[in-house]
Structure 1
């Protein structure tokens, strides 16, 4: 009788397994059962890969121009510009139409 090679979690190509699951149309639990994968480890890798830089690169982002309709109900912004407060307490002050491109460059570095 020949020894059976066991597959360790480190041997599994998780990105490929996640891609196969997405194409399968199965629930994660059913996919794991059919492919003899640990459901908990599958979920761990699914979350890890969805939070990776690779996952983020496919997301679309950008700025949207906001134009005042001129109605009396629209609040006016201070002449000093807008302030953008980011998580962690970072504040970007003095934002206006003339420095939106610079703001995009700054946010791309964060």
Structure 2
């Protein structure tokens, strides 16, 4: 029997999956959730949140420290942000 969930319940599941560190596929198997439904709701909620953020006029930020890897002991990052039309923003810090 299919369980019908509210958007709030789907958002809670999406948050749980993100915080769990499991892949979406493994999380869905563990929680007995349909993988396709989970992905559809995750996209729908993400699109909705992006629309809300754009409507509010507030800037969004992404914490890149999680992408740096825990094994790095010191500065040494190099970030390239492609803005389109051949425009790139390059940030470098070595040593």
Give the alignment's TM-score, normalised by structure 2. 0.49
**Structure showing greater Rg:** 1
Q: Which has the higher strand share?
A: 2
Structure of greater relative contact order (alpha carbons < 8 Å, 6+ residues apart): 2
Give the alignment's TM-score, normalised by structure 1. 0.43
